[in-house]
Structure 1
C-alpha cells in the first residue's frame, strides 16, 4: 500500500504537533470523526478524545518526539508501522507498533497500539 507511509507520517505529525489548534486540525485530517485509539495505557475516541489524549502525553513528556521506525506496511484497509519516542536529548525511551484500520476515504477509523520496549 503506497499510502501506508503517508498515513504513518501524518499520524506521527499529529502526535508531535504542539500547537493545540494545529494539532486538532491534524487529528481531523488523519482520523475519522468516530475513530478509536487504544494502547496498554490509554483508550480514547473521537477527534476531541484523541486530541486530549495526545495533549496529555505531550504534557507528561515535554519536548519528546515520535519518529517513524522502519517501513510502514499496509494492505486492503489495514496499516501497520513502528515508531520510537525520543527524549529532548535524542535518547530513545520507548518503541512501539501501531495497527490501524482505514475507512473508505483513507482516514484512520481505529488504531491499536502496542509498546515493544519502554526504557
Structure 2
C-alpha cells in the first residue's frame, strides 16, 4: 500500500511541484532564483534536454540564467494538465511573452526525491516557432 499512497501523493502534488519548478525558471532576480533552486531541486539534481545538460544548484542556476538571457522578455508558464505516479511528475509548458502566442512548447519529466524536491529532469522541446 505504500507505493499506492506515494503515487497518490505524487499525483496530488504534481501541480505544486511543477509550479515551483516553473517559478525557478521564471525568477530573474539571481538571489531569489538561487533560493528557489535550493527549495525545488536536490543538491545533486541533473537536468538534460536536447540543447543543454547541467547538474547541481550552481549548474542549474547558470543554465537558467543563460536561457533567460537568450530569451529575454519571455516567460515560462504551465500549460495543460500536470500528472504523476510513483516518483515521477510530467508537465507541459510554454515559453512566450505575456499576451502573445508562445514561441515554444515543451514537456518535462521530473523524478521527485523522498523530500519532495526534484532530483532529475528530462526535458523535451515539443514545438518551436520558426523565425519570420
Query: If the length of structure 2 is used for normalisation, what is the TM-score?
Result: 0.88
Q: Which of 2, 16, 27 does residue 26 from structure 2 map onto?
A: 16
Q: Which of 76, 97, 109 does residue 99 from structure 1 map onto?
A: 109
**RMSD of the alignment, in Å?**
0.9
Aligned to 1:81: 91
- Offset at 1:87? 2.7
Classify 1:31/1:86 alpha carbon distance in 2 versus 1 (closer, same or farther; 3 Å): same
Q: Which has the larger radius of gyration?
A: 2
Give the structure with the larger strand fraction. 1
Q: Which of 89, 96, 100 does residue 90 from structure 1 map onto?
A: 100
Aligned counterparts of 2:97 and 2:67: Cα–Cα separation in 1: 13
Aligned counterparts of 1:3 and 1:47: Cα–Cα separation in 2: 22
- Offset at 1:89? 5.5
- Offset at 1:76? 1.2
Q: How does 1:15-94 map to 2 (within 5 A)?
A: 15-87=25-97, 90-94=100-104
Q: Which of 104, 112, 116 does residue 126 from structure 2 map onto?
A: 116
Aligned counterparts of 1:61 and 1:88: Cα–Cα separation in 2: 13
Structure 1 unmatched runs, 5+: none
- Offset at 1:91? 2.4
